[in-house]
Amino acid sequence: MTQALTPSPKMAITRAARVVAYLTPEEVYRIANAANQGRNGERDYLLIRVLFETGLRVSEALSL
């Protein structure tokens, strides 16, 4: 008689650790300077600086 294997409800499920990728200060500088172009460049530059320096998510910054 063959039984299907079912996971025990008490067994912990292990998940692979997520690798968090960070931007270097040079990358942040280049992104902010690239945004500082065009009609709304200063606004975009400041928004990107706020996001990176405070750790806000885009949705959080837009709700301010």
Query: Does residue 53 fall inside a structural domain?
Result: yes
How far apart are the C-alpha atoms of 16 and 30, rounded to whole Å?
Answer: 32
Query: Does residue 29 fall inside a structural domain?
Result: yes
Query: Does residue 1 fall inside a structural domain?
Result: no
Report whether 33 contacts 22 (CB < 8 A): no
- Give tens-digit pLDDT for 12-21: 777 888 888 8
- Count CA atoms within 13 Å of residue 58 on its CB side: 2
Residue 57: which domain range?
Answer: 25-62
- Give tens-digit pLDDT for 42-60: 999 999 999 999 999 999 9
Q: pLDDT confidence of 63, banded at 50, 70, 90? A: very high
Number of domains comprising the chain = 1
For the full predicted model, state whether its pTM sits above 0.95. no
